[in-house]
């Protein structure tokens, strides 16, 4: 089974990159299943059904999120209408949505780290509880949305041999540690952003620089110019759930027009 995981989709440039690259990539590479983090798909600030539907149409099967899941307030209600849109499973009890999805063939789970982030329930115990449920499909994919690479790496080793893929999101910067962990778990600390290439994690560089220099609040803007598509391609034995091969995928797409919506 061939699985593609796509890094944080940022604004219109990220959405356009997915729409242009993914359909042909799925066909050319024989990809069976696609997971993408879409928490910044709506203008770089949260996500909405209107911005996520075209991603499903382009070939994304499940969309994960993170700490920006509620930035668009409509998502508090919209997430209940689409089970393929996930929020972190270790958010407090009673919040809308679900932290995992399964079709009986593949399980996708979404968890969020705690180091340098908000105080939430333990992601390690949360994923342990999910994986203790039976029966579960052998192919299991985890998006661990976390800030610190130490926490992400710890999660990779914690889940080694129990899931097929652990991919990190949140930093928007790709890491060079994609590999197979013992027990057949594909791991990367951060897939990297799918969005504006010439940017500060998706934002206009000059506005971001001004904010750092002056310390004054300013309206951040999605950067213009080419978009980069970043993903990880993993070959998994569908019967055992063990990853056999991992490969980074990257492409550049020219973007014209407004970047904000």
Cβ neighbours for 116, distance < 8 A, ≥ 6 positions apart: 147, 148
pTM equals 0.96
How far are the Cα atoms of 72, 130, 136 from residue 89, in angstroms, in the given order?
A: 19, 9, 16
pLDDT value of residue 217? 83
* High-pLDDT (> 90) share of the chain, %: 93
Report residue 151 as tokens: 């926490």
In this structure, of 7-16, 71-80, 235-244, 252-261, the range with the lowest mean pLDDT score is: 252-261
What DSSP designation does 85 have? B
β-pair type (165-169, 139-145): parallel
Higher pLDDT, 216 or 126: 126
β-pair type (2-6, 227-236): antiparallel
Cβ neighbours for 129, distance < 8 A, ≥ 6 positions apart: none
* Dist CA 127 CA 122 (whole Å): 9
Report residue 85 as tokens: 């849109």
β-pair type (33-37, 2-6): parallel
Report residue 102 as tokens: 């399964």
* High-pLDDT (> 70) share of the chain, %: 98
pLDDT value of residue 258? 64
Helix (H), strand (E) counts: the chain: 6, 12
* Dist CA 101 CA 194 (whole Å): 23
Active-site residue list: 68
Contacts of residues 118-126 at CB distance under 8 Å and 24 or more positions apart, as own/partner, are 118/67, 120/88, 120/90, 120/91, 120/92, 121/90, 121/91, 121/92, 122/90, 123/88, 123/89, 123/90, 123/155, 124/154, 124/155, 124/158, 125/90, 126/89, 126/90, 126/99
What DSSP designation does 134 have? S
Interval 104-117 mean pLDDT: 96
Question: What mean pLDDT is reported for the chain?
Answer: 95
pLDDT value of residue 76? 96
- Residues forming a β-bridge with 166: 142, 187
Is the CB of residue 190 less than 8 Å from the CB of residue 197?
no
Q: What domains does the chain contain, in order, with CATH numbers?
A: 2-253 (3.60.21.10)
pLDDT value of residue 74? 95
């Amino acid at each position: 089974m061939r699985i593609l995981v796509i890094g944080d989709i940022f604004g219109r440039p990220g959405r356009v990159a997915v729409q242009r690259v993914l359909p042909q990539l799925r066909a050319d590479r024989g990809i069976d299943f696609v997971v993408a983090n879409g928490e910044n798909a709506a203008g770089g600030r949260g996500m909405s059904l209107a911005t996520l539907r075209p991603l499903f149409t382009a070939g994304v099967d499940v969309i994960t999120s993170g700490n920006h899941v509620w930035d668009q307030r409509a998502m508090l209600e919209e997430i209940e209408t689409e089970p393929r849109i996930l929020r972190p499973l270790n958010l407090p009890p009673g919040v809308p949505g679900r932290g995992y999805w399964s079709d009986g063939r593949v399980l996708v789970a979404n968890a969020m780290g705690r180091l340098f982030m908000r105080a939430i329930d333990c992601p390690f115990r949360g994923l342990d509880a999910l994986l203790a449920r039976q029966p579960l499909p052998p192919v299991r994919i985890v998006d661990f949305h976390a800030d610190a690479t130490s926490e992400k790496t710890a999660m990779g080793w914690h889940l080694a041999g129990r899931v097929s893929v652990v991919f990190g999101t949140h930093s928007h910067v790709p890491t060079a540690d994609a590999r197979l962990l013992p027990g057949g778990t594909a791991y990367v600390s951060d897939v990297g952003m799918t969005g504006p290439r010439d940017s500060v994690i998706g934002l206009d560089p000059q506005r971001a620089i001004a904010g750092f220099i002056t310390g004054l609040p300013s309206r951040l803007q999605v950067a213009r110019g080419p978009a980069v598509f970043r993903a990880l391609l993993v070959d998994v034995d569908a019967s055992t759930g063990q990853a056999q091969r991992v490969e980074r995928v990257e492409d550049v797409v020219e973007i014209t027009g407004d970047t904000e919506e």
